[in-house]
Amino acid sequence: MGNVTITIDGQKVTVPQDYYIIQAAKEIGIDIPALCYDPNLEVAGACRLCLVEVEGWRKLETSCSTKVREGMVIYTESERVVNMRKEILQLLLDNHPNDCLTCQKAGECLLQQYAYRYDVKFREHDGARRPNYVDTSSPYILKDDSKCILCGKCVRTCAQVHDRKVLAFAGRGFDTRIVADGDFTLEESSCVSCNRCVVVCPVGALVDRRLLGKTRVWDSQIKGVKCKACDYGCNFEVISKKGKNIAVRAKAPSQGRPLCLKGRLTTEFIYLDEPETPYKKVNGKFVEASWKEALELDGIFEKLVEEEKKGVGAE
Amino acid sequence: MMTIQELNEIKERTLKTMELRLQKKDTGKHVLICGGPGCHSSNAGEIKEVFEEKIREKGLDDVKVTLAGCFGLCETGPNVEIYPEGIFYSRIKVEDIDKIVDSHLCKGEIVEELLYEGSIEDGNIKPVSEVDFYKKQVKIALRNCGIIDYENIDEYIALDGYQALAKVVLEMTPQEVIELMKEANLRGRGGAGFPAGRKWETAFKYPADQKYVICNADEGDPGAFMDRSILEGDPHSVLEAMAICGYAIGADQGFIYIRAEYPVAVHRLEVAIRQAREKGLLGKNIFGTDFNFDIELRLGAGAFVCGEGTALMESIEGKRGMPRPKIHRTAHRGLWGKPTIINNVETFANVPAIILKGADWFKSIGTEDSPGTKVFALGGKIKNTGLVEIPMGITLREIIFDIGGGIPNGKEFKAVQTGGPSGGCIPKEHLDTPVDFASLGKLGSIMGSGGMIVLDEDDCMVDIARFFLDFTVDESCGKCVPCREGTKRMLEILERIVNGEGTPEDLDRLESLAETITEGSLCGLGQTAANPVISTMKYFRDEYEAHVYEKRCPAGSCQALLEFFITEDCIGCTKCARNCPVSCIEGKVKERHVIDTGKCIKCGTCMEVCPVGAVIKR
């Protein structure tokens, strides 16, 4: 694979020729805003925020889906580009609840970050809005449709694990929604609470329910850990406040790592000072479970104790 | 397996049975009944059966009856032609058939009162070919529509059907086919006008173990039925062309992506594909060569956006029909990641004719930049609603007034909307614009797939823009932000304006939204969604301003803004006051009456009952 040299905002950079512009920009520390782009997911080109100007090209191009070409001269923050981003952000804010004060995502929300960066504000209008539907059926995931910006990352990440494919688009146009299976609640659906979708959601539409109300991101310390439940070793974060470990949350899955509920609970059990009651889905209903059940240690645990005893006796 | 000899034998044999309608023989009669979409739904099937029954009763052995594809003049359907004279009867009902059989078929006496009104001039009866509606038309894509029996492959073969396929697989290399197509410069009839030959060449040059040919038959513009008529009237022309394309690029599988709302076209295609397979014209070893090609149908589920190439492929792949970002050319990586050619129905229908008659012949029709013809579906405020095929380069005026017969009821022409929801409105000062890809684009409209909606003085341009935006908002797939959110906001503004609630800022907002949607959207649907607004704001800004500043609809069409008014012509007959359902009209006998506009519910009853036309909308 050959390399090409391009110029981004006046800086020259040499990158492999199969790079997208957004990747090349990242190499030299230029952060092009994007809500639907994720290097681990199939390119969607849906949010249009990453549009950039390429010298000599008539139209603006999305940097997430345009490959670099030798000699390209790119402007990522030209007036034309910035105006377009402002318009797009305004369209998103016009259809987004003004809930940043209490939204769990505040501080980590990409929409919030970009609105601040481009100085776009909420405004009053009497036009249509997304229906205010909140799915509270799952103890692990809170799905708030009114905050969804339809970037589709959740659908794409869910589809990456062969037997999941729970989330999908439904409806069309302004009425498009993300649904689980045939428009069921997360509890009724085949959702396995792996929280892959929560991890990739750029806004507060999918949040980790077990974090809700516990802390704000700027009030907490976050430490990365590896899950010990299986060989994949998925990444998790332990969140602590005032020296106490209060919550665990999944980190973005990559390199084929699947994330799963058992791993999450195992990590919670290992690290948290006061682990919350775990829930298991039994016949389409979430029911409280003991930690032994949740970690699937039934029988194994007793056997281990037996073995320990035997071992001690033999010595 | 079919050989060229057998193909020619079928041709000779079948031609003999078609001599009457081709006007090559003058003993006997041939009744041709239009089976196009309009006539089909207004009882053409029963008309055919009754004709056959009456003819049997009378023992007329030398009269043949055929249900053919669309004749084009939908306005006057159901249409019937009688050959060899080419007499054109229109608006035929089942009860009229006795008369036609008794006098025309038995005695040779034309039933004048049932003739198409345009076929009598100065007391003389003109054959159908001389009628104004047909005179200026040149038929390539529709060459067989209305002539052949669409469910009889032999009749297609009789009119040189599958000769082009035989010629390419037996006598030409793929490169030669591509060169010929490039030379002919056939531009995509789906709307964008990309040269088919260049597209084919791109796919041909890209090595792959599997390539595909797709026919885009997801015709969805409101009021457009060009492709439907071709598929229903001449399905084999599309099948033959797809096989030719397959040979040129090296594909052995084709798909026709057709909307499920076209059940008749689906059925006729199924019949045609079966017949072509039985004759060995599709399948393995076509004409004894090692060229294999087969075609399958894929039915769309009713989403307009699936007419967009990448969404169409997603849909064929079994996914939700949403456009893909254009990272690769479809001709390189299309369906299932393989080189794919997508052409629309009308584009394909031109191909066999080009192969047989050559690039020079094709280029002799139309203009240099846009050779050939274009099929349009004429609709709206026009006398001759229907389907026309015209050489590129003739003017909008010729299409609307000479072929279309102009505006009915003595009304004034206002604008013509071309290109459906992606197109724009062209006002009367541009009526002499030649119809070709570049000229319509310059005016802010597009050629589009061929919808042409004529508007008259009673049509409000803001409301027309609102109508098309309403369609786009409904059909946006919801994937990208500018289209999903932007078109909705635009529609909300337009709704405010037609309801008399628009503000001057709304006009600015419309313009900035139009720019964002056009420049920011992912696919062609979004990128062109604002065109109806942009073009009406460009040519009819005064109408927008009248709505916003004066709360007035100049066309008198926006219900919320109009006012009923009694002029000086009032004779004081009191009829309006007596009929008003809300008793808001006052006045003494023989004195001018007055409407209390505060109470008026704008039902229009006063206007209807006034004997002297003194009530007006303003």
Which among B482, B187, B478 is positioned nearest to A59, based on CA atoms? B482
Minimum-distance CB partner of A44 among B325, B474, B489 = B325
Res A305 pLDDT > 90: no
Mean pLDDT of A194-200: 96
**Which residues does chain B have with pLDDT short of 50?**
none
| pLDDT digit string, tens, across residues A216-252 | 999 999 999 999 999 999 999 999 999 999 999 999 8
Task: Output the pLDDT for position A312.
Answer: 61
- Reduced to 3 states (helix: H, G, I; strand: E, B; else coil), residue B374 is strand
Minimum-distance CB partner of A88 among B320, B482, B492 = B482
Sort out which chain A residues have CB atoms less than 8 A from B303's CB and list them. 172
Q: What is the 3-state secondary structure (H, E, C) of A55-83?
A: CCCCCCEECCCCECCCCCEEECCCHHHHH
Beginning with the edge strand found earlier in the chain, give each strand of the sheet holding B212-217 in spatial order.
B294-300, B253-259, B212-217, B340-344
Sort out which chain B residues have CB atoms less than 8 A from A41's CB and list them. none
| Contact between B489 and A92 using a beta-carbon 8 Å cutoff | no
- The first and second tokens of residue B121, run together, are 């001039």
Optimal mutation site among A91, A124, A149, interface B, most CBs of chain B within 10 A:
A91
Other beta carbons less than 10 A from residue B404's beta carbon:
28
- The first and second tokens of residue B65, run together, are 């009856």
What is the Cα B398 distance to its own chain's centre?
17
B462 burial type by CB count under 10 A (0-12 exposed, 13-18 middle, 19+ buried): buried
- Reduced to 3 states (helix: H, G, I; strand: E, B; else coil), residue B585 is strand
In sequence order, what are the residues at sequence separation of 6 or more whose Cβ sits closer than 8 angstroms to the Cβ of residue B198? B182
Sort out which chain A residues have CB atoms less than 8 A from B320's CB and list them. 168-169
Q: For B450, phi and psi rounded to 5 degrees?
A: 130, 15
Q: Are B257 and B295 in contact (CB under 8 A)?
A: no
State the Cα torsion B66-B70-B73-B75 to the nearest 10°: 100
**Cα(A12)–Cα(A21) distance, integer angstroms:** 13
Sort out which chain B residues have CB atoms less than 8 A from A153's CB and list them. none
Res A308 pLDDT > 90: no
Q: What is the 3-state secondary structure (H, E, C) of A243-274?
A: CEEEEEEECCCCCCCCCCHHHHHHHHHHHCCC
**pLDDT > 70: what percent of chain B?**
100
DSSP β-ladder status, B212-217 and B253-259: parallel
Which stretches within B37-93 are classed as H helix? 37-41, 44-58
Which among B160, B319, B136 is positioned nearest to B237, based on CA atoms? B160
Task: Output the pLDDT for position A68.
Answer: 97
CA distance B125 to chain A (A): 54
Structural domains in chain A plus CATH codes = 3-93 (3.10.20.740), 121-213 (3.30.70.20)
Minimum-distance CB partner of A43 among B327, B486, B492 = B327
| Contact between B481 and A64 using a beta-carbon 8 Å cutoff | no
DSSP β-ladder status, A61-62 and A285-288: unpaired
What are the Cα distances from residue B21, in Å, to A250, B28, B78, B126, B138?
76, 10, 18, 16, 18
Task: Output the pLDDT for position A313.
Answer: 53
Res A179 pLDDT > 70: yes
Residue A289 has, within 13 A of its CA and on its CB side, a CA count of: 19
- Nearest C-alpha in B relative to A96: B485
Which among B115, B108, B105, B16 is positioned nearest to B52, based on CA atoms? B105
Optimal mutation site among A174, A175, A177, A203, interface B, most CBs of chain B within 10 A:
A174
Helical pair B531-539 and B541-549, crossing angle rounded to 10 deg: 90
* H or E element that contains A11: strand A11-16
CA distance A130 to chain B (A): 10
Sort out which chain A residues have CB atoms less than 8 A from B326's CB and list them. 65
Q: For B116, phi and psi rounded to 5 degrees?
A: -65, 130
Other beta carbons less than 10 A from residue B485's beta carbon:
29
**Cα(B543)–Cα(B447) distance, integer angstroms:** 25
- The first and second tokens of residue B41, run together, are 């739904």
A108 pLDDT band, cuts 50/70/90, is very high
Optimal mutation site among B515, B519, B523, interface A, most CBs of chain A within 10 A:
B519
Task: Name the CA radius of gyration of chain B, rounded.
Answer: 27
Task: Output the pLDDT for position A257.
Answer: 85
| Contact between A48 and B512 using a beta-carbon 8 Å cutoff | no
| Contact between A173 and B519 using a beta-carbon 8 Å cutoff | no
Res A87 pLDDT > 80: yes
- Please measure the distance between the N-terminal and C-terminal CA atoms of chain A and give it in whole angstroms: 61
| Contact between A176 and B303 using a beta-carbon 8 Å cutoff | no
A1 pLDDT band, cuts 50/70/90, is confident
Res A7 pLDDT > 60: yes
Q: What is the DSSP letter of A182?
A: T
CA distance A260 to chain B (A): 26
Task: Output the pLDDT for position B118.
Answer: 87
CB pairs under 8 A between A and B: 98
**pLDDT > 70: what percent of chain A?**
99
Other beta carbons less than 10 A from residue A265's beta carbon:
25
| Contact between B480 and A48 using a beta-carbon 8 Å cutoff | yes
| Contact between B481 and A62 using a beta-carbon 8 Å cutoff | no
Structural domains in chain B plus CATH codes = 4-128 (3.40.30.10), 161-363 (3.40.50.11540), 373-456 (3.10.20.600), 461-549 (1.20.1440.230), 564-617 (3.30.70.20)
| Contact between A60 and B482 using a beta-carbon 8 Å cutoff | no
CA distance B490 to chain A (A): 10
Q: What is the ipTM of this complex?
A: 0.93
Which among B507, B410, B508, B524 is positioned nearest to B472, based on CA atoms? B524
Instruction: For Cα atoms A212, A215, A219, give the angle at the middle one, nearest 5 degrees.
Output: 155
Task: Output the pLDDT for position B122.
Answer: 84
- Please measure the distance between the N-terminal and C-terminal CA atoms of chain B and give it in whole angstroms: 71
| Contact between A45 and B482 using a beta-carbon 8 Å cutoff | no
